[in-house]
Structure 1
């Protein structure tokens, strides 16, 4: 595992370096420039606040391809009843704040530190990060955020205050952009996203998608 220099924005090549369980580097900082560079390489930060910053590129990678989206009959009924309304980039700060504070099963604390949250807010202000908001009776009840890198969307985190809110928001997003987004990076496995069609693919396949995407920019 490589220690990063705070004064140099550089990472090990994830194609050539395969650390333990996908952990390829530690240290560095959470500057906007470093985070943006990392995601273009298929690398993301994931660590406990107050501890060393850890950088990952797992193999296999959990990805959803829009044409493989699964929508259950019960979720289609929810969407058809217009239980929720949706918006984009209308309340990024509240979305990321809720993602930080929401209680999750079998997880104590949060991986989303205040410093990392501030960096993503800056990325949003630069037009590089986006949020999807889910509303019910004019109240923010769900949503998610991530980075848009060409036609690859790197999903970061989601939250729901009422049943089906985050699922509805995700389905709305995928169906709206199915012709514009080639893949959605979900990073690591969750049953929630697997039920929507996400699946594991080899790391190299995901990196090839990123390389092709970067070449088209």
Structure 2
């Protein structure tokens, strides 16, 4: 029988989480409460298919919803109209060149139906710490020197766990997501975790996986493999024109 309340985490950052399969059905996916946002705790959570999500003033809440929203890296879709516009775009794409700015922009971006942000100051500091350790990464979209879109998340092994994205101009987040997926597909990384269902993500090709199927894939993908050591993606990703996506992200 499933527990009636989430698991209470202890103060030890390396303490194990309960199995993600034991998360509550109502609210869907709530697994644990408490703990901290240390790098060790966060990496332990993501490797187990668990992520933090809470608002200012709440305790830290840890989730593993069922089903789970994901992208296959070869399955991100951009509409034909959007791709036509990209052909003449002067936007450029980079990685890990403006991580703090992307996180801050995601925190400041208005969200329909939401009052405030879950990307609290403590969350921002936590992901900046992961970034300094080479575990958290951003993809940026620039128009000249102006940041017009971005996405950030956590990488373990060959698995990327997306956290948030933003558009400073129309289409900026689409380009960031498509650029991330295009690059990861080339590296042999098959999945991007998108956490919970969202109509916008569904239109871009996201699919729902039963939690059991998601966890089975994650547990294999997070294992170390050649080319997956923590570190900056700035040089490996390079700097390239967003127009390249016009041919690679089909509708």
Q: Same fold (TM over 0.5)?
A: yes
2:140 is matched with which residue: 115, 133, 143? 133
Q: Name which of structure 1's ranges 70-79 and 159-168 shifts more when overlaid on structure 2.
A: 70-79
Whole-Å Cα distance in 2 between the matches of residues 73 and 18 of structure 1? Answer: 40
Classify the secondary structure of the residue corresponding to 2:222. Answer: helix
2:230 matched residue in structure 1: none
Whole-Å Cα distance in 1 between the matches of residues 98 and 123 of structure 2? Answer: 17
| Runs of at least 5 residues in structure 2 that lack an aligned partner in the other structure | 1-5, 226-251
Q: How many Å apart are 1:216 and its aligned residue? A: 5.2
Asked if the contact 1:75/1:168 (under 8 Å) is kept, the reply is no
Q: How many Å apart are 1:114 and its aligned residue? A: 0.7
Change (3 A) 1:49 1:66: same
Asked if the contact 1:84/1:165 (under 8 Å) is kept, the reply is no
After superposition, what is the alpha-carbon deviation per residue over 1:29-82, rounded to whole angstroms, capped at 9, x for unaligned?
A: 111110111000000000111211110000000000022222210121132112
Asked if the contact 1:88/1:132 (under 8 Å) is kept, the reply is yes
2:9 is matched with which residue: 4, 12, 22? 4
* TM-score in terms of structure 1 length: 0.95
Change (3 A) 1:143 1:57: same
Tell me the matched-pair count. 216
RMSD of the TM alignment (CA)?
Answer: 1.3
Q: Name which of structure 1's ranges 90-99 and 80-89 shifts more when overlaid on structure 2.
A: 80-89
Whole-Å Cα distance in 2 between the matches of residues 53 and 204 of structure 1? Answer: 24
Q: Which runs of 4+ in 1 moved over 4 A?
A: none
After superposition, what is the alpha-carbon deviation per residue over 1:102-137, rounded to whole angstroms, capped at 9, x for unaligned?
A: 111111101011111101001001110000111113
